[in-house]
Chains A and B, each alone.
Chain A
Amino acid sequence: MEYSEKVMDHFMNPRNMGEIPDATVSGTVGNPVCGDIMKIDLKIENDIITDAKFKTFGCGSAIATSSMATELVIGKNTLDALDISNKAVAEALDGLPAVKLHCSVLAEQAIKKALKGYFEAEGRMTPELAEKFKILNEDEDEEDSADEHGCCLHE
């Protein structure tokens, strides 16, 4: 199996790896049993994401998608950041092998998990906005299947 040059570049030279000590919000998704955990810290000032950092336990594409996700999210306002899809992350990396697409799903989930905390803390969560976080419920389903089958099948 071969990754695109972009994936390898983000794996070998990850952008924004680390933590933000005074992060506004943080989102952690995945499960060690499944072999990938992604944690994304966001610094939000005046509703703009001014900084993002990640830490990831996982394969090459998990690290590359985390890195790319932080690049995509920095500079965006919080509502625009909600429109970053797993497809956009994968496309920005010039594509992922089919068996690795779940890594981009994880990246979208990590961003949304962090932003969910932000909108809730701000008291801005509406039923309409909640729709945008639907992908996080898929995560819960996966954890159920992890218990049953011993490992996740994110697809």
Chain B
Amino acid sequence: MKEEQKVVTRQADGNKRIYFDHAATTAIHPEVMAVLTDALENNYGNPSSFYKEGNVAARAMNKAREKIAELLDVKAEEIFFTSGGTESDNWAIKGAAQAQKKKGKHLITSTIEHHAVLHSMEALEKDGYEITYLEVDSDGLVRPDDLRKAIRPDTILVSIMYANNEIGTIQPIKELGEICQEHKVLFHSDAVQALGAVPLRPKDLGVDLMSFSGHKLYGPKGIGILYKRKGARIAQFIDGGAQERKQRGGTENVPSMIALAKAVEIAYSDMEGEAQRQIRLRDRLINEIPKVVSHAKLNGHPSTRLPNNVNFSFEFIEGESILLLLDAYGYACSSGSACTSASLDPSHVLLAIGLPHEVAHGSLRISLGRENTDADVDRFLKDLPKVIQRLRDMSPLYEDYKNNKIEALIPHEGGNSLVRKGGYGI
């Protein structure tokens, strides 16, 4: 392999690299990798073919589908493989809109959804559909009463994510699902961040459609799932052959399906224990970061959040420069800063929970994973204050704060709320 393609596992200073960005993607699990390479070699046949190679692939594919269905406690024919979370979201939303347009052209979602959902909704808006965007509270929660009020006779789909990818807040999906059932409206939930992280049974939640992705739980990229409850009517999205019960054309990605089944199996084998372990690390970061860095605001719900998600805003500095310095110290993290997006606007999620732009620009997301340990957290808690202080020493805003020219927006001792809602007004 070429040198520049290799993953660097150690820094020049000898310290190991610490990967804190599992919400972006995960490294493939060695056992999943073994299954995948074996399947690439041996399950190359086309499942639609009438000979041994095809039959072998078809059998392996069915087994993978059944395994996933068993773990999610759904029927195998309710599992549809897709190219990933984005396709699943597009299919659920656009497919529902297409199939239900005689009933109505109104859909409901929240302001903090993933772009795969929001941009699908925007595409429908251009096509004459009407979308209601539910606002969230300062912890990022959708209020079930708001949903109840928003549903109309012509509402055809509600799409609310299970857990937010940036701030980790977990929505009251069961309660929202009950409201949709009462009103006989299809309910879709993007559960890309939740699969394998928290116990999740679509049947118990009252969802009709649910999106999943492989690469967020140590599986391969380019494979995902749309759970479609039997009887939920949506139009097909990818036209082609008769694959996936004539619902999604294209020769099946059998090796990735097998690998995904393995990844889900591994996640479910120790989910409770691993979640508890990550929650402990998460809460160490949540509790200890404000003790080592002043003016640090926790974003997202303090407890109803993904086991692996930590999101803070650090006042007076900008997120991309935090990431670059942390990278130099050996950490891979993420930010909702405008400078890390192509749009020059800070994260729509952070703005939706009421952060002023100034505070949203200085955000940092840490998303933990299987390989992270207490030692990683210890090292991070030593390095983070150095990074933040170095950038604050460069910041004219921090200088203005020290000279009493501006008031801080985040309390010195940190916490989950702002001193005041507006910006600096300068």
State whether A150 touches B357 (Cβ < 8 A): yes
What is the size, in residues, of chain A's interface with B at 8 Å between Cβ atoms?
30
0/1 string, B256-290, CB within 8 A of A gives 1: 00000000000000000000000000000000000
Given contacts A57-B395, A99-B344, contact A33 B357 (CB under 8 A): yes
Interface 0/1 of A2-37, CB less than 8 Å to B: 000000100110100101000000001001111111
Q: Is A59 an interface residue (CB 8 A)?
A: yes
Q: With A55-B396, A59-B339, A151-B346 known to touch, is A34 a contact of B320 (CB < 8 Å)? A: no
In the bound complex, CA of A17 to CA of B398 (Å): 14
Let me know if A152 and B337 touch, CB within 8 A. no
Known interface pairs A37-B396, A151-B357; A60-B344 also in contact (CB < 8 Å): no
Most A CB within 10 A of own CB, among B358, B396, B426: B396
Q: Which of B324-374 contact A (CB under 8 A)?
A: 324-325, 328, 337-339, 342, 344-346, 351, 356-358, 361
Q: Once bound together, how far apart are the Cα atoms of A19 and B400, in whole Å?
A: 13
With an 8 A cutoff between CB atoms, is A39 at the interface? Answer: yes
Give the interface SS of chain B, mostly helix, strand, loop or mixed. helix
What band does the interface of chain B fall in when counting residues whose beta carbon is under 8 Å from A?
20 to 34
Are A55 and B395 CB-contacts (below 8 A) given A35-B346, A151-B338, A151-B346?
yes
Please judge, given known A-B contacts A59-B339, A150-B357, whether A32 and B320 are in contact too, CB under 8 Å.
no
> In the complex, A36→B394 CA distance in Å?
12
- Chain B interface residues toward A at CB < 8 A: 316-321, 324-325, 328, 337-339, 342, 344-346, 351, 356-358, 361, 393-399, 423-424, 426
User: Could you list 24 A-B pairs, sorted by A, with CB under 8 Å?
Assistant: A11-B321, A11-B324, A32-B357, A32-B358, A32-B361, A32-B426, A33-B356, A34-B344, A34-B357, A35-B361, A36-B318, A55-B399, A57-B317, A57-B395, A57-B396, A57-B398, A58-B339, A59-B319, A59-B337, A59-B339, A60-B321, A62-B318, A99-B342, A151-B344
